[in-house]
Amino acid sequence: MTFLIVTHVIHKSANGKIFGYAPYVREMNLWIHPFSKVILVAPVLKGLDPNPIELSYEHANLEVREVQEINLTTVYSAVRSVLSLPQIIFQIFNAMSKADHIHLRCPGNMGLLGCFVQIFFPFKKKTAKYAGNWDPASLQPFTYQLQKKILSSTLLSRNMKALVYGKWKGDSSNVIPFFTASYSRSEILDFNKELPETGEKLNLIFVGSLVEGKNPLIALQSLKLLVDKGYQVHLDVCGDGNQYKLLEEYIRENGIEQFVSLLGNVNATDLKTLYKKAHFLIFLSDSEGWPKVVAEAMFFGCIPITTPVSCVPDMLGIDERGDLISKDPKEVLRIIDFYFKFPSKYSSKSIKAREWSNKYTLELFNDEIMKLI
């Protein structure tokens, strides 16, 4: 039995293995292990070492079909991408003809091509993981909307199960509410997290790409307000991106070097340690699907202070397991002030957050995947 993956995720080839973004590859390793052969159609870079947040596929029979990355950000890359489309479409079509199970990763340019090509294989078993915001009321790029329309169409996507985050009014029978997981049952800790005593540090954490849409600068602005008010506080910033230098400048200009650590990309083991000590996750993103960092923080009783995007309100039980706010640093300060006035409220919410997230283990995730393949 052959399993096909069509994805826009950029991979690296090193030491005879194929590496990709660790949370994605960790999930794919669950999907592929029952199959005798795996075909991967994706962009692949050579000659680069994997970084701490990249992981290798674990399968004895992995066939990689390298294709050009579809990149429309510059004139040169756009022309190159357009010229490569016939070859990419041929590779996808050929791979689908040989596969027993077709799996698309959406939204993305490769996923969009896969959505069109899979129409010609109505009798093959298919799944698509839509990792973006499925909320029909949200503003989406046209290509994302197009993928959503094709995937949810029982006519165009026959035998397709589209796995999405959240349950939305008007979804077709193709669409299945789903989740994701990062930790196993063996990693569940039975403990109660409390706010720090006088003289101890309040630990905050931001995890994500350091890009405009994730708003890491708001986490730093929130930290500055807390420092100005006299809190003994420290913020760990985990991630990398094009706003790294902007954050460095803000830290230097505001004299908060001793209160923050820019840690870059952090491996899974070190990140888990940071979640365990953190009291609050500050994550005020513009758009998400199922933000893993929110669920991961909650797994260890770290209360998320986050924006109400996609299915995040459901994850937090509105405000039962965390706090939903606008992208305003003053709101972060207000929330933390409240918990220090009523510390028992913090402990209670931390327990609820941990108990909810502890349900969504890798074991349950694997069981649900097995039902689909």
Measured distance CA(279)–CA(205) in Å, rounded: 8
Residue 366 lies in a domain: no
- The string over 147-182, giving b where at least 16 C-beta atoms fall within 10 Å of a residue's C-beta and e elsewhere, is bbebbbbeebbebbbbbbbbebeebeebbeebbbbb
Q: Do residues 190 and 52 both lie within one domain? A: no
Alpha-carbon 353 to chain mean position: 19
- How many CB atoms within 10 Å of residue 187? 13
Domain count, the chain: 2
Q: Do residues 132 and 223 both lie within one domain? A: no
Q: Do residues 174 and 189 both lie within one domain? A: no
Contacts of 322 (CB under 8 A, 6+ apart): 294, 298, 303, 304, 305, 306, 315, 316, 349, 353
pLDDT string in tens for the chain (373-residue length): 999 999 999 999 998 999 999 999 999 999 999 999 999 999 999 888 998 899 999 999 999 999 999 888 788 888 888 899 999 999 999 999 999 999 999 999 999 999 999 999 999 999 999 999 999 888 889 999 999 999 999 999 999 999 999 989 888 999 999 999 999 999 999 889 999 998 899 999 999 999 999 999 999 999 999 999 999 999 999 999 999 999 999 999 999 999 999 999 999 999 999 999 999 999 999 988 889 999 999 999 999 999 999 999 999 999 999 999 999 999 999 999 999 999 999 999 999 999 999 999 999 999 999 999 9
Residue 365 lies in a domain: no
CB-facing half-sphere around the CA of 148: CA atoms within 13 A: 20
Q: Do residues 63 and 190 both lie within one domain? A: no
Q: Do residues 54 and 201 both lie within one domain? A: no
**Segments forming the whole domain that contains residue 124:** 2-178
Q: Do residues 131 and 204 both lie within one domain? A: no
Q: What are phi and psi of 88, to 5 degrees?
A: -65, -45
Q: Do residues 163 and 197 both lie within one domain? A: no
Q: Do residues 173 and 192 both lie within one domain? A: no
Q: Do residues 306 and 230 both lie within one domain? A: yes
Measured distance CA(30)–CA(362) in Å, rounded: 9
Residue 299 lies in a domain: yes
Q: Do residues 167 and 28 both lie within one domain? A: yes
- Here the CATH number for the domain that contains residue 15 is 3.40.50
Residue 364 lies in a domain: no
Q: Do residues 278 and 259 both lie within one domain? A: yes
Residue 115: name the closest of 77, 138, 140, 145 by CA: 145
